Each structure stands twice: as structure tokens, then as C-alpha cells.
Structure 1
Amino acid sequence: MSDQYGYAHLMGVKFINITEKRFLDDIIYPKLKNQEKCFIVTANPEFVVATRDNPDFKAIVQSSDYVLPDGVGIIHAANFTGQRLVERVTGVDVMYKMLEHANEHGYSVFFLGAKEDANKKAAEEAKRQFPDLIIAGRRNGYFNRLDPEISDYVASTKPDIIFAALGMQRQEEWIYHSMDKFDKGIFIGVGGSLDVLSGNVSRAPKFWIKFQIEWLYRLIKQPSRLKRDLKVLEFMLLHIPGIKRVMKWLGFSKSKPRQR
């Protein structure tokens, strides 16, 4: 079904070209109804650069069912390379819409990840906002991602939706290695979204989001993000036509040197 929407290919990662509404209405909600399994990745520029630096991680991302463009830099990079992505589709927004849908249609959710306090508060806040929501279970993110007891426990609750908030790469690795234990489930990596749901972290005000400068708001609030945001700059420069040779000269290229 997704082939009708097309894709944008950036550094070996294939992004589906679709709006948030159509992604949910046309693809995810029918899969929920049919009790299918689905692996969703939400990727921003830093995420894509990480896949370049880690081939195993890239292989996991490429094995997913859908990769969503969670970052305005992804949209701009697609434009720079003559491709098209109709809009940014963020993990946190998809999470809220899926919670609303689960609340209305009787689907169960599992919250996996974040610190214990944030995880507990996220579950409580979800229940406050969506009173009919079925919470199959919850578990903080402090565990070995390959611990079979964790995946066995989550699978035993038979959730319809699994929100994995274990951080970039770790959450995708957990989903990849755990899905076979489940008979059904929409699995989505949502990064820090449980911290947002819990109220421990605030999203940028609508003004910053509207003008596509949410990244600047986060940097002002968290100066420690500077190193991460430099990865975004690197990603953008790598997609400006004619700039790759300059980037390689500056040492950003990960290609191996020639053997003499």
C-alpha cells in the first residue's frame, strides 16, 4: 500500500513520502484493526548520520516497515537532492494521535523506556488525557536491551501498540530483536516522547514549531545539545549540491583512505 506514496532516499535511509494523517488513516489504523505487526522508525538528521557511522544500525533501520521524517532537516535535504517529502511527521505527534485512537477504539498500549519517574508519570498523564485508554503495562528503560525477560514480559501483556522510548539506536535494536516474540503490535521508537508526555520536558511553543526553528528552542533550553546539533549541520551540508568534496576535505567523510 505504501508504494503509492513514494519515497525519498537519504544516505541509504528510505523515508516514506506521506502526511501524518494519511500515514495513520491509510496504513497504521488498518494494521491495528487487522492485528498486524509493524515496525516504525522516526528519524531526524542526527539519526541518519548515526546510521552512516554504524552499518549494523543502518541494517536495522532498513529492515523496518516505515521510516518517518522526524526533523525539518530531513525535508530540506530531500529538496536539496531533488526529492520530495510532503511534511515533517514527528514521533511525539504520532504518539499522541495513536493514544487518542487507542482510547476511542479500545486498543492497549505499553510504555517502554525513560526513567522510572518519567515512565510512571507518562502513564498517569496518558490516562488523565485519555480516560478510556487501556494501558497493558509499562517499564522504565534501565535494562539490558537484549535481556529476554524484558521482551518476554512486554509480549505477555499482549499490547496493540508499543511505544519504545529507549533513545536513538537502542530502541530500534530492542524492537528488531524482540518483535518475533509478539503475535501483533505496532512498534514505534519515540525517543524522548515519554519525557514530553510526563511533563518533565516541554515541547517548543507553537510559534517555534510553525517557523521550523524548534531545534533552536531546544538548543537555547539545553546548550549541551550543541554537539548533537553539529551532526544536523553536517547532515545538511552533505546534501547541498557540490559540497561533498569540501566535506570530505574537512574530514567529515567516513570513507576509508586508499591503500597505497
Structure 2
Amino acid sequence: MTVKYNKVKLMDIDFINISRYSFLKKIIYPSIEQEKKCFIVTANPEVVIATRDDPDFKVTVQSADYVLADGIGVVNASRLINDPIKERVTGVDLMYDLLKYASDNKKRVFFLGASEEVNIKVIDIVKRDYPGVVIAGRKNGYFNKYNDKIADSVAATKPDIIFVALGAKRQEGWIHHYMDKFEKGIFIGIGGSFDVLSGHVKRAPKIWIKMQLEWLYRLIKEPHRLRRDLKVFEFMLLHVPVIKTVMKWLGFSKTKPRSTRDGIR
């Protein structure tokens, strides 16, 4: 069955416009059963701004099979251009969805990234809460950005799902660079989701998430995020039609020529 969906273009990045439920039920779960390879990027405003500033990272994100709106700023920007994205789909929510599916269907999962302490804790929690998951393997994120031996060892486990928690840019770059080594697999960069799953970082209460204020909760808890969160407002301003035109005329929306191989620093 062919799944029909629209795409919304924001700063040259095509976001898939589909509900989280439909994305999983109609695209991802069938892809797992058919042993396909699939590269998923969950992009917030900071990630999209980074594609403007780093041409190689832009190529990496554009190579993904699916780019999802992980951030209310992306959803709001789509509304400003009168092409609204249905809903925000976060990497951490997809991680939980995929873990449940893997547990229910005895799928093989590899856990790549985070600190050794967090990675071990994640495995313990998965064994307890998702007993049907077949743990293909695990590896912390403390290794050189290009390490063929590690990539080969991950591929040798033949995982159905590969969670890559190396932080934005590095994780997408790793997937883009090494995906061809794998015969199958759903590849998804999940940033700090292992920290949430392990309990090392507390996610915002549901009421904050429902009110679309998760970003504010994180900022209150982690004031050092202010500079990063300002990217949201920059991103939003770039999608107000009048401001977008003026900034383009002034030359502020031009790509800065900074190259990093496969988007990995």
C-alpha cells in the first residue's frame, strides 16, 4: 500500500506532514517487517538553523528518508507560511513507541551513544520495562567520530532498530556515513533521549508539554540553554513573510560557507 502524505518545506528542508500515529503505523512498522533501511531525522529549529550555517550538514539532513518536526517552533513556522504541519513528533516519543513495538514483536535493537553510565542504565531499564526487546548490543558515545571498526561491529549485530544518541549533527552524520554498511534497520538520531529514559534528565511534566511549553520548562531547569533557545526565535522570524523578505534583501539569510564532513564535528 502506498502511503500518501504532503511535505512542508522550511529553509530547504522537507518535513513530512503526517501524524505520529500514521507515520509509525503506515510507514515505520511495515518498514521494519519488510527489513528495509530507513533514516529518520527529528529536527527542531536549532537543527534547521544549523543546516543553513553548515552546507555539509544540510546535505546530511536532506539525505534522510523522513524529517519530522521535533519542536513547536517548527510547527509554528509552518503555520506562518500557511502550510501547517499536523503535529510535533519528538525523538523521545518515537523512542518509546519503537521500544514498545520492538518488545511486542521481539525485534533487535542497538543502543549507541550517551555516557557509559547512562547507556548501561538504559539497558537495565529496557530489560525491565520492555522485556520482549532483543538487545542486539550497546556502545557508549565516547569514540572518535569516524571509527569503522565500531560501525562494523554494530552492523554485525543485524539490528532492526538503531538508536543513535550522539547529539545533534554528530548522530545524523554518523548515520549518513555508515548506513550503507547495514543490510536493514530503522536509524534514528535521538539526541539526549537516553538521558531521559535513564532518569538522568527529567522530562517536562505532561501539562507543560500539552501547553507547548516544554522548551520553557527546560530553560528554567537549564538556564545555560538560553543561547540555544534563542535559535527558536530566529527561526520563527525567518518565516514571517515581511521579515523574511527584508532579511533576505539585507543578506542575513545567506548560507555561511562552513564545511564539516557528513555534518560531524
TM-score, length-scaled by structure 2: 0.93
Q: Give the alignment's Cα RMSD to 1 decimal.
A: 1.6
Tell me whether 1:173 sits opposite 2:200 in the alignment.
Answer: no
Q: How does 1:56-135 map to 2 (within 5 A)?
A: 56-135=56-135
Instruction: Check the 8 A contact 1:2/1:16 in 2, yes or no.
Output: no
Amino acid at match of 2:156: S
The answer for the alignment partner of 1:12 in structure 2 is 12
Q: What percentage of residue pairs aligned between the two structures are identical? A: 62
- Secondary structure, aligned partner of 2:234: helix
Measured against aligned partners, the alpha-carbon deviations of 1:155-176 in whole angstroms (never above 9, x if no partner) come to 0111110000101110001001
Task: Could you tell me which runs of 5 or more consecutive residues in structure 2 were left unpaired when the two chains were aligned.
Answer: 257-265
**How far 1:252 moved relative to its partner?**
4.5
Measured against aligned partners, the alpha-carbon deviations of 1:130-161 in whole angstroms (never above 9, x if no partner) come to 11211111101111121101100100111110
The answer for the alignment partner of 1:238 in structure 2 is 238
Q: How does 1:214-233 map to 2 (within 5 A)?
A: 214-233=214-233
Change (3 A) 1:222 1:252: farther
* More contact order relative to length (CA 8 Å, sep ≥ 6): 2
Whole-Å separation in 1 of the counterparts to 2:252 and 2:129? 45
Amino acid at match of 1:145: K
**How far 1:251 moved relative to its partner?**
7.8
**How far 1:246 moved relative to its partner?**
4.9
Measured against aligned partners, the alpha-carbon deviations of 1:27-60 in whole angstroms (never above 9, x if no partner) come to 0000000111000000000000000000110001
Tell me whether 1:137 sits opposite 2:137 in the alignment.
Answer: yes
Following superposition, which runs of at least 4 residues in structure 1 exceed 2 angstroms of deviation? 244-256
Whole-Å separation in 2 of the counterparts to 1:255 and 1:62? 15
Task: Could you tell me which runs of 5 or more consecutive residues in structure 1 were left unpaired when the two chains were aligned.
Answer: none
Instruction: Check the 8 A contact 2:52/2:255 in 1, yes or no.
Output: no
- Secondary structure, aligned partner of 1:14: strand
Whole-Å separation in 1 of the counterparts to 2:218 and 2:2? 32
Whole-Å separation in 1 of the counterparts to 2:252 and 2:231? 10
Instruction: Check the 8 A contact 1:114/1:166 in 2, yes or no.
Output: yes
Instruction: Check the 8 A contact 1:2/1:27 in 2, yes or no.
Output: no
- Secondary structure, aligned partner of 2:153: helix
Change (3 A) 1:77 1:2: farther
Amino acid at match of 1:177: H
Whole-Å separation in 2 of the counterparts to 1:216 and 1:67? 24
TM-score, length-scaled by structure 1: 0.95
Whole-Å separation in 2 of the counterparts to 1:210 and 1:2? 32
What is the count of residue pairs matched by the alignment?
256
Whole-Å separation in 2 of the counterparts to 1:11 and 1:245? 13
